[in-house]
Amino acid sequence: MAKKVLRNVTHCIFDMDGLLLDTERLYTDAAQQVLDPYGKTFTFDVKEQLMGLQTRQVAEFMVKSYELPITWEEYAKQQRDNALSLMGNAQLMPGAARLLRHLHANKVPFALATSSGADMVELKSTHHKELFSLFHHKVCGSTDAEVKNGKPAPDIFLVAAGRFSDTPDPSKCLVFEDSPNGVTAGESAGMQVVMVPDPRLSEERCSHATQVLRSLEDFKPEQFGLPPFSD
């Protein structure tokens, strides 16, 4: 993969599922529970197409792909009910707390931009309230009226950039993502994107990111003109 030129930034925008919180495997479990009565298996090649999409997009895709005899609304409710019983114990991904605390300590503004609804964000962050309180603001795509189109459209990141008090130019914002749809959304918004992908994703599916890392622990802030870690 060709090395890309990294530009200095002033603001950061973070996805949540699979990047800050280890929730993607919980979503897999919740989806599989819906499919079980129909003898279907939720495979990774389907899952990777859904990463970063809003609730309705996911439900419609699942009903169509697996030819389920239910409406997308029924699918969404069943998966949501399953997820509610799983998400309260979501754990932080490696390097997430260190990076967020570092940015906060150095007065670098950062926001959350997740396709999840506001109520699910509250549930998933149950054991991480203090850390999530450090965000300048949160944009929850599935329940935010200003986010007209879900990822891979750029809407959520443009809305997030516009809500910083100093409304930075998109080129000054650095997005952190784990999904190909999220990377496309960030790049379409005119932002650089650091991707921390699921290791099962092919290199080709990650090639459009500005930088690809194995973990947030490997992120070097100074490469984007941000204050370096002191430890």
Selecting among 17, 144, 155, 178, the annotated active-site residue is 17
Contact by Cβ (8 Å): 110, 11: yes
231 part of the active site:
no
17 part of the active site:
yes
51, burial (CB in 10 Å: exposed 0-12, middle 13-18, buried 19+): buried
Which positions are catalytic?
15, 17
